[in-house]
A = this chain, B = another copy of it.
Amino acid sequence: MQRDSFKQHISGQFNAELEAVKNHLLEMGGRVESQVALAVEALLARDSGQAADVIAGDEEVNIMQVKIDEECSHILARRQPAASDLRLVIAVAKVTTDLERIGDEATKIARQAITLSEQAQSRSGSAEVRQIGRHVGLMLRSALDSFARQDEITAVDVVVDDDTVDSEYASAMRSLVTFMMEDPHNIGPVLNEMWALRALERVGDHASNVAEQVIYLARGLDVRHMEPTELRAHIQGNRNPEDRDTE
């Protein structure tokens, strides 16, 4: 009897550790979400002070990543998780990498904001930055929500949505090239906006990676290199057929 209660105690602690690492990941997600939003705002407002805050804030994101990765290593070493618990730890360790890189992209946007704040105002692609910034912000939010709720339907939407961001990005680039052609004085500032857009497009890619981990988590299926349409058909058509270790 004592042994059973000991086991339950251990298993309760283990569950608490899994819950904690998941919550820390979501906190990190919330943090990078806000970093991206603040960086885009700083860019649009040419606000170098706010941009500097974003750059300084990246340190905290990095610290969060290192801590969460350590938690994952400890759980793997001491708890030897199996089945869906193991998948959760692996998914968390993969997602920290994406979130940290989203933090880096926010920093890159903030750097462009500072450069732009120092330049004379010229014709610019602010509309494009605003639109794509809002779009990838929503994608990131949905990706994190889908992780929190292990909601694979929302996760699939995020992966599919990344294609839309890619075409918005391509079309924004074409407009910006036109601004450059019109007047060589635009070249410098427009390039800064192009780098910022590139960073936003990368945020979309990372959000999509996060969503792919949600699908891995939910059904033990690695969908990272599946085409979005194939993926949607696969997820909607099958109720968990490839899950190798359901509890």
The chain B residue with its CB closest to the CB of A183 is B184
A233 within 8 A of B: no
A225 within 8 A of B: yes
How many copies of this protein are present in the complex? 2
- In the bound complex, residues from chain B placing their C-beta under 8 Å from that of A66 are 222, 224-225
A90 within 8 A of B: yes
A131 within 8 A of B: no
- In the bound complex, residues from chain B placing their C-beta under 8 Å from that of A63 are 225
Within 8 A of B (CB), among A3-35: none
- In the bound complex, residues from chain B placing their C-beta under 8 Å from that of A224 are 62, 65-66
- In the bound complex, residues from chain B placing their C-beta under 8 Å from that of A177 are 187-188, 191
Within the complex, the shortest CB–CB distance from A174 to chain B, in Å, comes to 10
A120 within 8 A of B: no
The chain B residue with its CB closest to the CB of A205 is B104
Could you give, for residues 177-194 of chain A, a 1 whenever the CB lies within 8 Å of some chain B CB and a 0 otherwise? Answer: 100110010011001000
- In the bound complex, residues from chain B placing their C-beta under 8 Å from that of A93 are 90, 93-94
Give CA–CA (A82, B86) in the complex, Å: 15
Q: Specify which of B76, B187, B225 is in contact with A187 (CB 8 Å cutoff).
A: B187
A86→B94 contact, CB < 8 A: no
- In the bound complex, residues from chain B placing their C-beta under 8 Å from that of A188 are 177
A70 within 8 A of B: yes
A80 within 8 A of B: yes
Within 8 A of B (CB), among A154-196: 177, 180-181, 184, 187-188, 191
A198 within 8 A of B: yes
Give CA–CA (A198, B225) in the complex, Å: 23
A152 within 8 A of B: no
Within 8 A of B (CB), among A185-243: 187-188, 191, 198, 222, 224-225
Which residues of A are in contact with B by a Cβ distance under 8 Å?
59, 62-63, 65-66, 69-70, 72-73, 76-77, 80, 82-83, 86-87, 90, 93-94, 97, 177, 180-181, 184, 187-188, 191, 198, 222, 224-225
Extra A-B contacts (17), CB below 8 Å, given A65-B225, A66-B222, A77-B86: A65-B224, A66-B224, A69-B222, A70-B222, A72-B90, A73-B86, A73-B87, A73-B90, A93-B93, A93-B94, A94-B97, A97-B97, A177-B187, A177-B188, A177-B191, A184-B184, A198-B198
Q: Which 4 A-B pairs have the closest CB atoms?
A: A62-B225, A80-B80, A181-B184, A66-B222
